[in-house]
Amino acid sequence: MTSLSRSGVIASAARRNLSATTPRAGAARRASSEAHHGEHDSSSDHRTETLFTPFWRNTFVGGALAYGLVTVVPAPSESNKEGGAISKFIQRRIADPEDWLKKNEIHTLAAERTAHSRIVAQGAERPSIYRYKFPSMLEAHSPHLVPVGTEVHIPARS
């Protein structure tokens, strides 16, 4: 009996030594036990925020350019009824009002046609007679397990 208990002690000691010498097991145990013992508020991990990042640089440059554009471009005056450079650019890019009227008329006619076809489709009714695709299917049923009085017997005429 002592040999069995002694071999059990040796086997458990061997298992303990094996797990202690295994690098993965030891590293995992150390990482999980010591992971949260460091300082959480170390200021060396945080970057300092400044206004000299590319985003703020581009914002300031864009604002300065917009301000310069507003101050340099002349405003429309009484003698110049066409407006400034920006107004001329917009007038060149926008289509004539007559073109817009033609486009709106075409769109209105298409909407009327669609509404009419929708009214026709919604007002349609199903036929009052149901036409079977295969009328012989009415007679294709099992003659067994039919309760008494549920079917009318129609004798065949000859």
30-72: pLDDT as tens digits: 555 555 555 555 556 667 778 888 999 999 999 999 999 888 8
Is 146 inside a domain boundary? no
The yes-or-no verdict on residue 102 having pLDDT over 90 is yes
The answer as to whether 128 is a domain residue is no
Q: Is residue 103 part of a domain?
A: yes
Q: Give yes or no for residue 138 having a pLDDT over 90.
A: no
Q: What is the mean pLDDT of residues 4-15?
A: 55
Q: Is 85 a member of any domain?
A: yes
In a domain, 131, yes or no: no
* Residue 109 domain flag: yes
Question: How far is Cα 147 from Cα 140, in angstroms, rounded to an integer?
Answer: 17
Residue-number span of the structural domain to which 66 is assigned: 54-121
Residues of the chain with pLDDT > 90: what percent?
22
Least Cα distance to 69 among 84, 49, 47 occurs for 84
Q: For residues 137 and 18, which has the higher predicted lDDT (pLDDT)? A: 137
- Closest-CA residue to 73 (of 83, 60, 81): 83
* Contact present, 75 and 84 (Cβ < 8 Å): yes
Which two structure tokens, joined as six digits, stand for 154? 């129609």
Full 3-state SS string of the chain: CHHHHHHHHHHHHHHHHHHHHCHHHHHHHHHHHHCCCCCCCCHHHCCCCCCCCHHHHHHHHHHHHHHHHHHHCCCCCCCCCCCCHHHHHHHHHCCCHHHHHHHHHHHHHHHHHHHHHHHHHHCCCCCCCCCCCCHHHHCCCCCCCCCCCCCCCCCCCC
Higher pLDDT, 43 or 108: 108
The number of distinct structural domains making up the chain is 1
Q: How confident is the prediction for the chain on average, in pLDDT?
A: 75
- Arithmetic mean of pLDDT, 16-36: 56
Please answer whether residues 73 and 84 qualify as being in contact, where contact means their C-beta atoms are separated by less than 8 angstroms.
Answer: yes
Question: pLDDT at position 70, please?
Answer: 83
Pairwise CA distance, residues 13 & 19, whole Å: 10
Q: Is residue 137 part of a domain?
A: no
* % of the chain beyond a pLDDT of 70: 62
Report the range of poorest mean pLDDT among 93-97, 123-127, 141-145.
141-145
Is 61 inside any structural domain?
Answer: yes
